[in-house]
Amino acid sequence: MTTSIVILTHNELPLTDKCLQSIRQHTHDYELIVVDNGSTDGTVAYLRKQPDIIVHENQENLGFAAGCNQGLGLSHGENILFLNNDTIVTAYWLENMLRVLYEDKRVGMVGPVTNYSSGHQMVPVTYSRLGELEIFARRHVQENEGCYTDVRRLVGFCLLAKRSVLEEIGGFDERFGLGNYEDDDLCLRALRAGYVLRVVQDAFIHHFGHATIRNLQDFDLTKLLDQNRKKASEKWGQDIHQLIYKPAVTISVCMITRDASLTLKRSLDSIAGHADEMIIVDTGSSDDTVELAKTYTSHVYIHSGKGEPSDSYLYAFEQATGEYIVWMRQDEVLDNKTIKRLSSLKLSIDGSEDSVALSDHHGKKASMYRRAAGFRMPDQWGEGV
């Protein structure tokens, strides 16, 4: 599986050389793509002499987003890694990020930890010279082996994505010009598409930080940040960081069961970990349905099932505490498309909608119902997922 590494350059040749040498030392199965944004310090001549690099030359600085999109267009790998040229990668950096990227199909993008970043990716370091970097990085990787953190935001200094995800949500939005907020925008689109973002704790990269952008002539970082923050707000209709970190609505999956031992495990496996709680009301099983259900949730109840059919549904509704309820059949299995839609809705709806379409699974429509709007049975068995 090949990873296309896309790097932008605008002068700063010594940093670019360090970055490329570290990639060659610590990386396997990759292609290198460097997009130069109008360098005047000999960077282009240097790049032309590198036989292992695909080089694209711009006559002027088109900005981070546009340059990255050009690199994406030249790439061939199943994975795309956007990497700043003011970084130095260390042992196992890419292997460990790829492991996390593919160990769960919900994951769309990942990033490493570093010495310099905003947000969740910066970790304390003990080295003060680059000569001490490798020793620190190896120790950090060993101490954090196999660890990752689910986050809402990844910073673009080193961002690894599945090609299929970028084909679905699109590349960077070029309205953000020289840079900043285009990575926030990409992360929000990934979240809204139902993907999970993760920081890989056992992948460490040294980051000098703003090395290129700070050296632009007549450049004002504070002004650029303010301009792009406003652009993001205009695009999304609200402060983008408020949207990224918006509290997720809570979801209760409710299920009525009876003699479901042959189908229940597959049904519950498909929703386990995606809902905030599962409410299972059994109406008199004679097999091991109840015992099986209790291995998934403590919210298992026995209801006589006598009276109106809606009585058991009402009882399940009364036990639920989530803001929204999804009715799920005991023989229904949620597919990946439905799970992605559920994850997306948890982060995107504002909690005022009484009913939200969830999926159209095999011709059977499914919805989420706001609990505060009152009890509502699915219109038919098929409308519950």
DSSP one-letter code for 263: T
* Position 212 confidence tier, pLDDT thresholds 50, 70, 90: low
381 against 263, higher pLDDT:
263
Give the Cα separation of 385 and 381 in Å (integer).
8
Q: Spell out the SS3 assignment of 372-384.
A: HHCCCCCCCHHHC
Whether 251-383 and 3-242 are alike in CATH topology: the answer is yes
Judged against a pLDDT cut of 90, whether residue 110 lies above it is answered with: yes
Question: How confident is residue 214, by pLDDT bands cut at 50, 70 and 90?
Answer: low
Strands of 300-302's sheet, edge to edge?
A: 300-302, 277-282, 251-257, 324-327, 364-370, 355-361
pLDDT at 198: 98
If you average pLDDT over residues 315-333, what whole number do you get?
A: 94
Structure tokens at 351: 């909690």
- Tell me, what's the pLDDT at 26? 97
Q: Flag whether pLDDT at 382 surpasses 60.
A: no
Of the candidates 14, 11, 26, the one whose C-alpha atom is nearest the C-alpha of residue 3 is 26
- CA dist 181 and 241 (Å) reads 10
Tokens representing 185 are 């925008």
Fold of 251-383: Spore Coat Polysaccharide Biosynthesis Protein SpsA; Chain A (3.90.550)
What is the largest distance, in Å, between two alpha-carbon atoms of the chain?
83
Give dist(CA 141, CA 373) in Å, integer. 49
At residue 384, the pLDDT reads: 35
345 pLDDT above the threshold of 50: yes
* Residue 107 to residues 29, 278, 347, Cα–Cα distance (Å): 21, 23, 15
Tell me if residue 19 falls in helix, strand or coil: helix
Averaged pLDDT, 120-136: 95
Which residues neighbour 250 within 8 Å (Cβ) at sequence distance 6 or greater? 276, 277, 321, 322, 323, 324
pLDDT tens across 255-293, in order? 999 999 999 999 999 999 899 999 999 999 999 999 999
Quick one: 3-242 is in which CATH superfamily? Spore Coat Polysaccharide Biosynthesis Protein SpsA; Chain A (3.90.550.10)
**Axis-axis angle for helices 182-192, 336-348 (nearest 10):** 120
Q: Is the pLDDT of residue 208 over 80?
A: yes
| Domain parsing of the chain, residue ranges | 3-242, 251-383
Residues 329 and 267 sit within 8 Å (Cβ to Cβ)? yes
Q: Is the pLDDT of residue 381 over 80?
A: no
Q: What percent of the chain has pLDDT over 90?
A: 81
User: 22: which residues sit within 8 A by CB, 6+ positions away?
Assistant: 87, 88, 89, 90
DSSP code, position 117 = -
Beta-carbon contacts of residue 293 (< 8 Å; ≥ 6 apart)? 257, 264, 268, 280, 282, 300
CB-side neighbour CA atoms (13 Å) of 167: 8
Q: Supply the pLDDT for residue 217.
A: 57
Give the separation between CA 274 and CA 175, rounded to whole angstroms: 34
Three-state DSSP at 365 gives strand
| Token representation of residue 349 | 């709806």
Residue 303 and residue 147: Cα distance in Å, rounded? 42
Cα–Cα distances (Å) from 373 to 24, 129, 252, in that order, read 59, 60, 14
Q: What's the gap between Cα 5 and its chain centre?
A: 19
Token pair in block for residue 232: 């993001």
